[in-house]
Amino acid sequence: MGIIMDGKKIAEGIRAKLAEEIRKIEAEKAVKPTLATIIVEGDPSSAAYVKNKEKVCIQTGLGSVTYNLPMNTKEEDLIRLIEELNIRKDIHGILVQVPLPKHINENKIASIIDYRKDVDCFNPENAGRLFRGEKCLLPCTPKGIIRLIKAYGIEISGKKAAVVGRSNIVGKPCAMMLLNNNATVTICHSKTFNLKSQLLECDIIVSAVGKPGLITADMVKEGAVVIDAGTTMVDGKLKGDVDFEKVLEKASYITPVPGGVGAMTTTMLIENVLEAFNNYE
């Protein structure tokens, strides 16, 4: 029986320190670090994330402005809003929630965000720095995953790791961050031949697909660390990619959904806004 990794508890400890830092900034500089979030309606998982993010902002004292845009928002209107936020001195971090509707080019939108305010490593400037192992604002979910693994004293260096999913927001950057921590990394995706055989060789498995029940117990070797970063809303409940109860019996460590990676993601977002604030000052 594995250990359930309490992302919520680890995140609460980090948030307490962040709240203290925010209070100190307000007292000394009379400025409230502030995040602007843009969400274009249509994705229930995104809506749930933004709702949780707003709660964490209130909890830590971070300033938060959310722009809820209709699904038929024109690309040029979204660009105009981002350009306005780029130059506003009272906005220190910008988050454009993805996925965006199909009529909006995500790559184009990513390139518009000021990289100094790009708190989820969306801009190609930050993505390139991550690839090169240079300092940058790290993507929130991969950053949270690495922090959670390290919080439990789990060694990454020298381990064989698999990342299931190759999105620009979670899969690819998570693989790069594991590699930067000296793991040997395999990226698996919808075209991977025999996913089971790939995963059975791995010490660390990170799944970020958004397909409930994708990772089953027979795909996980005894003692593996299983990180479930998948989120899918099913009948009003958030579900992960992993068959949690059965995989729990084989894994050494495993994250639940909710209560695992999600709590870390929102916390890393707050941390990134503070980092952006300090870099921009």
CA–CA dist 71, 249 (Å, integer): 42
Q: How far apart are CA 143 and CA 215, in angstroms?
A: 22
State the catalytic residue, choosing from 43, 97, 114, 241.
Answer: 97
**Residue 59: active-site member:** no
Whole-angstrom distance, CA of residue 198 vs CA of residue 207: 13
Q: Extract the runs of DSSP E, i.e. beta strands, from 130-224.
A: 160-164, 184-188, 204-207
**Known catalytic membership, residue 43:** no
Residue 243 annotated as catalytic: no
Tokens of 103: 């009529």
Side chain identity at 100, as an amino acid letter? L
**Catalytic annotation, pick one of 43, 114, 120, 228:** 120
Residue among 180, 174, 82 at smallest CA distance from 135: 180
Q: State residue 164 phi and psi, 5-degree precision.
A: -100, 115
**Residue of 43, 53, 143, 172 with catalytic role:** 53
Please list the active-site residues: 53, 97, 120
